[in-house]
Amino acid sequence: MIIDSDIDEIYENSMVSVEKLLGKQVLITGAAGFLGRYFMSLFHLINQRHPENPVGIVALDSYITSSNTEDQSWQRTSPEIEWIFGDASIGAQLPNKFDYIIHAAGIASPEHYRANPLETVKVAVDVTRSLLEKAKTDKSRFLFFSSSEIYGDPYPEFIPTDENFRGNVAARGPRACYDESKRMGEALCWIYENYFDVHACIVRPFNVYGPGMMPRDYRVLPNFATALYRKEPLRVYGHGRQTRTFCYVTDAITGFLKVLIETEKPDVYNVGNPEPELDMATLAKLFSEISKSNEGFELVKYPSSYPEDEPNRRCPNINKISTELGYKPKVDLSDGLARFISWSQANYTDELTN
């Protein structure tokens, strides 16, 4: 289960956005994914607190990478929610008229997109275009989930990285299906904004984490949590000196809502937490300290299933979203990791981690 207090926190941080959602119709793709479940839980809370003016939701997911273990029974019985199992492109074919379209579907885990390269390209390019056509017809506000991966491996002088950096990305290789398709998705948003007057905003998330990240996501923190559950050393790929920053999910969802609802004109925004930037070996030590694990960590070679050539550093410049929309991350890394560790050890099982 997602932590109820996290959803309360997002609600309290997003009152301006919540007011503008009341009575509106929303299409969300990737609704069963990590971020999608937070949006769905927030919409559910909004409708509980404002039954006289609920948000109408059409939720789409194909479960290619999403987990169906979450208790979402309320979604199946709520009269305000229409749940559709299937390809996200179905959303463009629906007769419903939407005020907001949240395109959160995507294959974001490196291990999953290496295994599913064509599906990765399809959802970021083909589905994005079809949903932008729907937004054009309905005059919807549109939110495209891009990625910090579109920056590739930034040059040192561009770290922290702002939205104007054009990227240092390989068009060929195991990561290209994800990186380049997200870049093309952004180009489509720009075209529909400038040629068809669609309010198409873009968010570039930087390492969002929190409860709800399942073991088979195969990213660093679920991998650490799986090792903790198994009482094994934490495994750090490569030399362990590659750096990242991490944004707790409540802060991230608050930022995403601001971009979707509060922007005056469509634009692109980094959403993340620039502090602290730390290497993976240091992250493993901090994770062990907070979890009180005595197993330590070990450096291991990259597995064959994990795409090579990962960026050496990644850190966002968030001045744009902070200045224009008043966004400010509130959850520090130690607090966020404690929440995630507590949740994962209560919810991971032998079946999920094997």
Which pLDDT tens digit goes with each residue over 17-32? 999 999 999 999 999 9
Counting residues of the chain whose pLDDT is more than 70, the rounded percentage is: 94
Query: What is the model's pLDDT at position 68?
Result: 57
What pairs with residue 61 in β-bridges?
A: 85
Q: Which helix (H) or strand (E) holds 10?
A: helix 4-13
* Token reading at 296: 């330590």
Place of tokens 């017809």: 137
Give residue 24's pLDDT.
97
Instruction: Please report the pLDDT score of residue 280 as a whole number.
Output: 96
Distance in angstroms (rounded) separating the CA atoms of residues 179 and 110: 10
pLDDT in tens, 218-277: 789 999 999 999 999 999 988 889 999 999 999 999 999 999 999 999 999 999 999 999
pLDDT at 76 (0 to 100): 58
Task: Please report whether residue 339 resides in a domain.
Answer: yes
Residue 69: pLDDT over 60: no
Q: How far apart are CA 256 and CA 269, in angstroms?
A: 9
pLDDT score, position 354: 81
In this predicted structure, the answer to whether residue 135 has a pLDDT above a threshold of 90 is yes
Which strand (E) or helix (H) includes residue 251? Answer: helix 249-257
CA nearest neighbour of 333 among 207, 230, 216: 207
In whole angstroms, what is the distance from residue 293 CA to residue 226 CA?
12
Tell me which residue has tokens 């305000």.
Answer: 80
> Taking Cα atoms as reference points, which of 333, 335, 352, 354 lies closest to residue 344?
352
Helix (H) or strand (E) holding 244: strand 243-244
Distance CA 88, CA 103 (A): 8
Mean pLDDT, residues 66-88 taken together: 71
The average pLDDT across 197-205 equals 98
For the residues 270-289, what does the mean pLDDT come to? Answer: 97
Instruction: Give the single-character DSSP code of 116.
Output: -
Residue 66, pLDDT above cutoff 80: no
Lookup: tokens for 247: 């944004």
Comparing CA positions, the residue from 269, 48, 22, 232 lying closest to residue 150 is 269
At 263 the three-state DSSP class reads: coil
- Distance in angstroms (rounded) separating the CA atoms of residues 259 and 253: 10
Question: Binning pLDDT at 50, 70 and 90, where does residue 310 land?
Answer: confident
Query: What was the pLDDT predicted at 228?
Result: 96
CB 140 within 8 A of CB 99: yes
> Does some domain include residue 354?
no
Helix (H) or strand (E) holding 176: helix 176-196
Mean of pLDDT values over 40-46:
94
Q: How far is CA 220 from the centre of its chain?
A: 15
Query: What's the number of CA atoms in the CB half-sphere (13 Å) around residue 81?
Result: 24
Residue 307: is the preceding peptide bond cis (ω within 30°)?
no
Q: The domain that contains 220 carries what CATH number?
A: 3.40.50.720
Q: What is the pLDDT, as a whole number, of residue 38?
A: 95
Q: Tell me, what's the pLDDT at 277?
A: 97
Q: What is the mean pLDDT of the chain?
A: 92
Q: How confident is the model at residue 77 (pLDDT cuts 50, 70, 90)?
A: low
Is 59 part of any domain? yes
Q: Please state, in angstroms and rounded to a whole number, the distance separating the CA atoms of residues 206 and 272.
A: 5
Residue 308 has pLDDT above 80, yes or no: no
> Phi first, then psi: what are they for 126, rounded to 5°?
-65, -45
Single-letter residue type at 127:
V
Q: What is the pLDDT of residue 40?
A: 94
Instruction: Judge residue 286's burial from the number of C-beta atoms within 10 Å of its C-beta, 0-12 exposed, 13-18 middle, 19 or more buried.
Output: middle
- Stretch 194-210: mean pLDDT, rounded? 98
- Residue 345 in any domain: the answer is yes
Residues 6+ apart with CB under 8 A from 354: none
pLDDT confidence bin for 306, thresholds 50/70/90 = low
The residue range of the domain holding 342 is 4-349
- Look at the block and give the residue holding tokens 């207090």: 5
Pairing of β 208-209 and β 247-248: parallel
Both tokens of 241, joined, read: 């000196």
Q: How many domains does one find in the chain?
A: 1
38, 113, 178, 192: which is the annotated catalytic residue? 178
In percent, how much of the chain has pLDDT > 90? 80
178 catalytic, yes or no?
yes
